[in-house]
With several copies, the nearest count.
Chain A
Amino acid sequence: MLSQIETDFRDMLLIRRTEELILQLFTEGKVSGTTHTCIGQEANAIALISQLDPAIDFVMSNHRCHGHYLSFGCSLEGLLGEIMGRANGICGGRGGSQHLKSGNFFSNGVLGGGAAIACGLALGEKLKKQNGIAVWCLSDGALGEGVVYESLNMAALWNLPILFFVENNLYAQSTPIALGVAGSVVDRAKPFGIHADEIDTTDVEQLRPWCSEMIEYVRTNRKPAWAVVDTYRLAAHSKGDDNRPEEELARHREHDPLYLLRRRVSDACIENAEKWVEDVLAKAAEAAENSPASTMDGELS
């Protein structure tokens, strides 16, 4: 049995390698369109999303969704197939990188609107008197969309079990947070009377208990919460567009969540994880490669 830290290391590594593979597929021209990786932010996904219960909870994610998707226990094969446009893709190739659905997991590349939908999912839990919660994933840039505040207001008014999961990575595409977000990120929810908290770390061991508390707050109190994680994306916004200063990147690489854990787990653990990830990924990639290109057949055509 793996310890928590070993599991987290392995799972974060899987996300990292998967996204590296995806980027490589783009570079090789095997895939077209666009993609957004969460390289550098894996600890958030693992710490928060993997603590949810896919049977009863809901996740509404955004353009940068692979880590959330995998942390929620959704199919790796389905993800690769989807991005490669194969029939075995989780959405049959229709959604692509930004539009995934698997069980209670949803993502959409249009910023903002998901906040209100997540409120609706949470309201559903409330009306059914069930225990699930809804999580809406956003980053600093999405704070620009008005519907976020409409949602905060409704969530607070109606005591909705929704967790607003803000991965503040300091940038929205090329725009540094200072040019896009006035004032405070964590305070944005407070005037609505919503419990808000912030943590500034990429360390999964610090994130896990904090996320657990935030989730429990929502689950137990049946009330919204606003959970801000200060983080950083180490890769480009999408495929290769990055104008951030190299010094800044270098500084943040020292907080690479994988790098942090590598210093804490054993060499054997690292080796096993690398091996396991390689295997799993190879199989998934092979399955996708072997799946036929997707076509417009079936009821949705």
Chain B
Amino acid sequence: MKRVLDSLNEGFHRVMKERPEVVVIGQDILDPYGGAFKVTRGLSTDYPERVITSPISEAGITGVGIGLALQKFRPVVEVMFGDFTTLIVDQLINHGTKIYAMYGQRVPLPLTVRTPMGARRGYGPTHSQSLERLFMGVPGLNVVAVSPLVDPGELLTQVILSDGPSLFVENKTLYSHPLWSEESSIQGMKVTRSEDTFPSCTLSYGEEPDVTLVTYGGMTPICLKAAARLREEEELICDVVILHEISPFKVDAIGASLRKSRRMVVAEEGTYSWGWGAEVIARLSEYRFDAPPVRVAAREVPIPAARSMEDEVLPQVRDVVAAAIQTVDSDLR
């Protein structure tokens, strides 16, 4: 059984083999340690010259990545925990994306910043956040998030091969999750993939949906569980739309389902306000809804270390279920 982690690692090996311009920089990425979450395992053994272990200087190594990209390399910078991307905001917003677009000509900047985001492991307030929010809507920056649905190693490869700066988000809970990407049917749902480089996937029971669940990344398995439960216990049929390119994103797949369901729940692991879901709802507001769309997200507090409290703060299957029910029960003001 291949897991998301294996796929990422294999994809990484493949792209480094095929593309001599791929260079990896990060903290503690050398073998035998192979990186805090082991995504980079084996790379330093196979490509010792192109895998550079770094000091604990998140801003510094992102800048180095930008410089390497200007030198026509395809650098991949690992930020050990997504929480520490707070330290690279200046590099990405005022340097990387600016170089890409402010000089009156497109300056290719194939930089990938990879980072694990997310909670549910008891790591506490500074090692559990989903901060990709900070990078959504940054002009010139692509944010791509892994799910078990689209081969993660292939997704990573495509990000690495793109010509602009990208943030590649890996939700920690997914690392050990089995891949679904080869399957055409998942938990009784049919999968439709868009033709894009970073596909949108629509999972559907083949029946007219009552509600469209929209999500990405680590909330994918949770939304699927919610869909199953809603079907069994509430006789509510959901489509689940999973995006991979989350900023900027295409509304097509969401819109197509919404036209049928006219009800939407957007689920994400990050905090509620100005989260991913805010833009999804704002963008889809041109559509006719039978009930206000509902967002499911983390409570707006630091994520507690104790698992008991962490569970209370983070969005759970039950929250997605409740939100879907709400869209069916409620009405516009």
Contact = CB atoms under 8 A, between A and B. Distances in A.
A and B touch in the complex (CB under 8 A): yes
Contacts of B98: 99, 108
A146 B67 contact: no
Nearest to B127: A109
Contact of A145 (B57, B69, B121, B299): B57
B305 interface: yes
A65 to B, nearest CB: 12
A104 to B, nearest CB: 9
A87 B301 CA distance: 18
Interface of A: 31-34, 58, 82, 85-86, 89-101, 106, 108-125, 127-128, 134, 141-147, 150-151, 153-154, 157-158, 172-175, 179-181, 241, 243, 293-296, 299-301
B52 A120 contact: no
6 contacts: A99-B98, A109-B126, A113-B91, A117-B66, A153-B55, A180-B55
B102 A94 contact: yes
A110 B94 contact: yes
Contacts of B107: 101
Contacts of A106: 70, 99, 103
B67 A117 contact: yes
B124 A113 contact: no
B124 A95 contact: yes
Interface of B: 23, 27-28, 30, 32-33, 36, 49-50, 52-57, 59-73, 75, 83-84, 87, 90-91, 94-95, 98-99, 101-107, 121-127, 299, 301-302, 304-309, 312-313
B33 A114 contact: no
B302 A94 contact: yes
B28 A175 contact: yes
B109 to A, nearest CB: 11
B56 A300 contact: no
A96 B305 contact: yes
A172 B56 contact: yes
Nearest to B307: A32
Contacts of A142: 56
Nearest to B23: A127
Contacts of B94: 108, 110, 113
A173 B81 CA distance: 14
Given A117-B67, A120-B66, A124-B70, 8 more contacts: A91-B104, A101-B105, A108-B99, A125-B71, A146-B60, A147-B57, A154-B57, A301-B301
Contacts of A125: 71
A84 to B, nearest CB: 8
Contacts of A144: 54-57, 60
A150 B57 contact: yes
The CB with the most chain B CB atoms within 10 A, among A85, A115, A121, A300, is that of: A300
A33 B172 CA distance: 13
Given A32-B307, A101-B103, A116 B59 contact: yes
B103 A33 contact: no
B308 A116 contact: no
A274 B108 CA distance: 40
A261 B276 CA distance: 57
Contact of A151 (B50, B60, B105): B60
Given A119-B64, A174-B28, A145 B305 contact: no
A93 B301 CA distance: 14
B55 A120 contact: no
Contacts of B106: 299-300
Contacts of A117: 63-64, 66-67, 70, 95, 99
